[in-house]
Amino acid sequence: MPKRILFLDRDGVILQEQPPDYQLDSLDKIHFMKGVITNLSCIAASLDYYKVLITNQDGMGTAVFPEHTFWPYQELMIRTLAGEGFVFDEVHIDKTFEHENLPTRKPGTGLLTHFLDPEKYDLANSFMVGDRWSDMQLAKNLGVRGILIRSPHLPLTPVQEEEYKEVIALATDDWDEIYSFLKNGLRKVRHERNTNETSISIELNADGSGKAAIHTGIGFFDHMLEQIARHGKLDLSIQCKGDLRIDEHHTIEDTGIALGEAFAKALADKTGMERYGFSLPMDDADAKVLIDFGGRNWIVWDAAFKREKIGEMPTEMFFHFFKSFSDAAKCNLNISCNGENEHHKIEAIFKAFAKAIRMAVKKDPFSNYLPSTKGVL
């Protein structure tokens, strides 16, 4: 699975900036931001981000900023963080002046082009933590979301606030809030799946309120997917363009795969999560759904349908959808239903599925308990 990245600026984010020159070139200028060491340690211990430092150091190596005044304090910061368990996977430093306008200098991406490989890196669910407009512009240029640490020295202008409002996922001066956001923010993901048959875009918030925006081109399928959002209290957007001119198979199956993959991303950190969910009889159709997000795929299906289609949706595709979801989400599913009305039966299954998901994904953000004796899920 592609890696999520946590890009971090240095000055004003990890180390306090010292006006008027904003250069940290002596020991008396080195002060860590409040709460940053503890929270970076927690991030390293409980989250799976690939950690990258990206910083502009104006004119480093020139007479105005000799390198020997930089490295001792840079290495002190690195050693201090490493002592608390936080180690950068990569460190990138641009030494140019702003007037040179080189692509390696933030907000340029010249030092970071290797992260633009979607097979290796999940930029849609990555973050840039910074305190300046250039950090938010870098986030925009990379296609990641921004976390703005509000600076008392260099605040964004109202125009910049407006320009980056779609990029900034969180604006704060509190590292406790940043950690809490990142820990719970993992459950809010954007995911795309593209094949020769379908193009699918999904936005999922496992801690949502039941909002749905669904369009697959199959009306009854859209109606069923809306049940997952509403009764699971998930915010769910699914936009699918499939080869419906041929038939419905690829659209339904691939949507199940893509939705399962989105859940696998959203539930990557299972600490504090219930893991199991079950839902018993609903409506007159007597549907039962059991789910276990335990990292292994398996499905038991005991539901028969007499009609060939409900709406435009072939009934044979109900199993394929849930099987695809189970495989991609790596979860166990046990689904059974009895009843007479075919519409009521499948709607009851989708509603019970939603309720089971809601129960299983419930999470205590203050708990690091992992619901497994194996120690891994």
pLDDT at position 262 is 95
Question: pLDDT category, 180, cuts 50, 70, 90?
Answer: confident
Burial class (CB in 10 A: 0-12, 13-18, 19+), 344: middle
Residue 243 annotated in active site: no
Q: Which range is least confidently modeled, 146-150, 253-257, 335-339, 361-365?
A: 361-365
190-361 and 5-185 share a CATH fold = no
Which tokens hold the place of 195?
Answer: 């094949």
pLDDT digits (tens, 9 = 90+) for 86-100: 999 999 999 999 999
Q: Decide which of 362 and 1 is more confident.
A: 362
As a residue count, the chain comes to 377
| Percent of all residues in the chain with a pLDDT value above 70, rounded to a whole number | 93
Q: Is 254 a catalytic residue?
A: no
Band (pLDDT 50/70/90 cuts) for residue 254 is very high
Answer for the pair 187, 48: CB distance below 8 angstroms, yes or no: no
pLDDT, one tens digit per residue, over 32-41 is 999 999 999 9
pLDDT surpassing 90 at residue 321 = yes
11, 131, 222, 269: which is the annotated catalytic residue?
A: 11
Does 19 or 334 have the greater pLDDT score?
Answer: 334
If you average pLDDT over every residue of the chain, what do you get?
91
Categorize the per-residue pLDDT at 306 as very low, low, confident or very high, splitting at 50, 70 and 90: very high
* Residue 212 CB neighbours (<10 A): 17
For domain 5-185, give its CATH number from 3.40.50.1000, 3.40.50.300, 2.60.120.330, 3.40.1360.10.
3.40.50.1000
What is the structure's pLDDT at 284? 73
Beta strands at 309-310 and 298-302: parallel, antiparallel or unpaired: unpaired
pTM assigned to the model: 0.62
Lowest mean pLDDT among 224-228, 263-267, 304-308, 365-369: 365-369
Domain 190-361 has CATH 3.40.50.300: no
List the chain domain ranges. 5-185, 190-361
Question: Is the C-alpha dihedral spanning 37, 167, 203, 208 positive or negative?
Answer: positive
Burial 228-247 (b: 16+ CB within 10 A, else e): bbbbbbbbbbbebebbbeee
